[in-house]
Amino acid sequence: MVRKSLAPWSELVIEGIIDQPVNSNIDLEEKIRPEVNTGFIDQNGVWRGKLSSDRNFNISSVDEVVPNGSSILTPTTNADGTWPLDMTGYQDLFIAIFTTEAGNYAINAVMGPQDVFGGFGGLTPVNPNAELKGAVRRNDMDNLLVDSADSLTADVWNIFIIKSQLSDQRLLQFRITNNSGSEAAKIKTAFMRLV
């Protein structure tokens, strides 16, 4: 659609040659064009799609009978060999823990296994099951997530949000330790990544 706009000053008026604008209507073309930005081409010429937050939790397998004082590592490698908890490009994370036994549980963020992605960013070997360290809030290296005693309710999903300190971790894994006093806790975990 073409819209007419009035130009109150023409060159001739500015120069003082005439006092009325000549042909003072300017044609302006107005078009609405939708734009969808779904990604970009990186410096290597590879198409990279934009990430979006997970819509639902991704549920890991159930760990049967975890005795008191014992730990599980979650998640584990997918059947196709891919890693289910790659935080590259993601900022925040929800972790949900379902247990059949109420009580205290320790939750630590650790380095995942080295047999995925060919190590961490091409580096191998890595130190699997070691606490993740980083300088997120200060200048010195600290453990990124070590929670020695979180009280969980039995037979419901206990949902926690972890803001930014685990962002961009490629081989993120959690070590969850049963400190509930029960010798027969069943633990199930689920994760939701947020951009």
Closest residue by Cα to residue 8 from 27, 32, 24: 24
Tell me the whole-structure pTM to 2 decimals.
Answer: 0.75
Q: Report which of residues 86 and 37 the model is more confident about.
A: 86
Calculate the average pLDDT of the chain: 85
Chain Cα centroid distance, residue 60 = 17
pLDDT value at residue 64:
83
Give the CA diameter of the chain: 99
Cis peptide before 75 (omega within 30 of 0): yes
Give the mean model confidence (pLDDT) for residues 63-86. Answer: 89
| Model confidence pLDDT, tens digit, residues 116-141 | 767 777 888 889 999 999 887 777 88
What angle (nearest 5°) sits at the alpha carbon of residue 172, between those of residues 166 and 173? 120
CB 144 within 8 A of CB 134: yes
Q: 9 pLDDT exceeds 70?
A: no
Residue 63: closest CA among 164, 188, 160, 195 = 188
Query: Going from the N-terminus, what domains does the chain have, and what CATH number goes with each?
Result: 2-33 (no CATH), 53-194 (2.60.120.680)
Who wins on pLDDT, 163 or 23? 163
